[in-house]
Chains A and B, each alone.
Chain A
Amino acid sequence: MDSEINSKANLQEVLNTLEVDRKKIAETYQTCYILIGLAVLIFAVGFFIRFIPLGIIGCLVPIIIAIVMYFRIEDDVIKYKSAYKMNVVGVALKDINETLTITPQSGLPEYEFISSELFTTEPDRYKTQDLISGIADKTSFWFAEVHAEYKTETQTKNGTRTTWHTIFKGIVFVADFNKNFNVSTVVRPKGIADAIGSWFSKNVFSFGDSEVVQLENIEFDNKFATFSKDQIEARYILTPAMMERILDLNSKSDDTISISFIHSKMYVAFPLSHNYFEAPIHSSLLVPDLLTNDLAIVKFMYDIVHELDLNTRIWGKE
């Protein structure tokens, strides 16, 4: 109890110190915005009085000052954001579980994202950050924010135009799975193509995809397409109880989740648009609900281990 009060007092102290830095950064940003506004105004005045050289020279001065100010504060912003993640989020995580740690610069490596087989498209641009890891009883788990994109190139009159498309943006959760398995089993949201594929495999055997697994839980089968090279192993992993638990977990997520069981690990991809664990700049750090969203998502991830009953280890994976 004492340590809890101490840690709360320490957190408050850290927040007070960081609030000073935040105000300094916010004020600098505001000054930059005002200077840019001023530059636009000077240019407009020059334009209206038909003395454009004066407008251009006049607007350059505030723009240069704004750029210099912006770059001078940049280092402080990086330090502030990193201190927030380490000293505020990092400390608050311990309230959920002592083993939880955050490593802001790390994430889920790209090769692991590809080998998880969660998505069929390979990314051309891949960003990941805020790796949080911990142990829930016997099960190690970790999760990180991931933004994976692929590009398409179209030829236009002015050359090649590159367009970026999101493959996945959200959080990928990884946990040691409690059973041994040899091949990979992938559970993806059921799209139209998957629905057609599974219809063929059900009704016209010769044309169907032999890797499609038809599971007896109708709700599960309607929501997800399951693929595996080993029909028995897929059912060994996806027991009736496990399917119910996955459906429960899915109902708590806004968009349909994707799951894969591969290399004795379980990967769950939660599509989310919000960027978590970021320090606020234009709003105060001293508000009571500062960490509510961030901690809610961490608690959600932490609870997955219990929700999917990954701690029941009777299958020789002690």
Chain B
Amino acid sequence: MLVIIGLFVFLFIIGIVIYNSLIGKRNQVTNAFSAIDVMLKKRYDLIPNLVEVVKQYTNYEQSTLTKIVELRARATSGNLTDEEKASLDTELSSAVIGLMVTVENYPDLKANTNFLNLQTTWTESEEQIAAARRTYNSAVTDYNNAIMMFPGNMFAGMLGYTKIDVLATPEEERKNISAKELFNN
């Protein structure tokens, strides 16, 4: 009788550990995504300043600037799914990188301290976002492994946990971003 009770207690404890572990992993994923969100917001805040500075020096990049402003407005409007956020961010990122490349044609702008600071902050935030995305992907892989492997999969079914997709890292984020490279394009 004692053996049966012991076994029952043991299984119960194991159950609690697995259950808590799954909840922990799920929270890690949420946490990691909100870290990306915070960093994206920080980066969106840079855009109005960037647009202002660029506007003062250029007359011909209006379409790019308008596109960037539009993308930012959509990205900060709320009501977006995680996937939409990610794809908007990629689009915005490449638009800004495109803008930075065209700066080559405006020597005055290139020498502007405000612009240089913004540019440095932008690349810094790119690096931080890349790191946050990788952290998110690591948390997602961990979580996916836990809910797909035995015995976690039994609990995952009960909790209604499903597989989450990892974020695809754009190829340009795989290397260190250097302003020099950007301007040499």
| Chain A residues within CB distance 8 Å of chain B | 179, 202-207, 214-216, 231-236, 239-242, 309, 312, 314-316
Contact = CB atoms under 8 A, between A and B. Distances in A.
A239 B20 CA distance: 31
Contact of A214 (B124, B142, B146, B176): B142
A220 to B, nearest CB: 13
A236 B134 CA distance: 9
B50 to A, nearest CB: 16
Interface of B is mostly: helix
Contacts of A314: 120, 123-124, 177-179
28 contacts: A179-B127, A204-B17, A204-B21, A205-B20, A205-B25, A214-B138, A216-B138, A231-B138, A232-B128, A232-B131, A232-B132, A232-B135, A235-B131, A235-B132, A235-B135, A236-B130, A236-B131, A239-B130, A239-B131, A239-B175, A240-B175, A241-B175, A309-B176, A312-B176, A314-B123, A314-B178, A314-B179, A315-B127
Given A214-B138, A241-B176, A242-B176, 18 more contacts: A179-B127, A204-B17, A206-B17, A206-B20, A206-B21, A206-B24, A207-B17, A215-B138, A231-B138, A232-B135, A236-B127, A309-B176, A312-B180, A314-B178, A315-B120, A315-B123, A315-B127, A316-B121
B144 interface: no
Interface of A is mostly: helix
Contacts of B132: 232, 235
Interface string B129-162: 0111011011000100110000000000000000
> Closest 9 interchain pairs by CB?
A236-B131, A235-B131, A205-B21, A205-B24, A235-B134, A231-B135, A232-B135, A314-B179, A315-B124
B137 A233 contact: no
Given A216-B137, A241-B176, A236 B142 contact: no
Nearest to B25: A205
Contact of B131 (A204, A206, A233, A309): A233
Contact of B142 (A202, A233, A234, A239): A202
A206 B121 CA distance: 37
- Interface size on B, as a range, is 20 to 34
Contacts of B35: 232
Contacts of A236: 127-128, 130-131
Nearest to A214: B138
Contacts of A242: 176
A235 B32 CA distance: 13
A312 B127 CA distance: 13
B24 A216 contact: no
A317 to B, nearest CB: 10
A315 B128 CA distance: 10
Interface in B66-122: 120-121
A274 B20 CA distance: 51
A147 B171 CA distance: 44
Contact of B174 (A202, A215, A240, A315): A240
Interface in B3-21: 17, 20-21
Contacts of B145: 202-203
Contact of A241 (B20, B21, B138, B174): B174
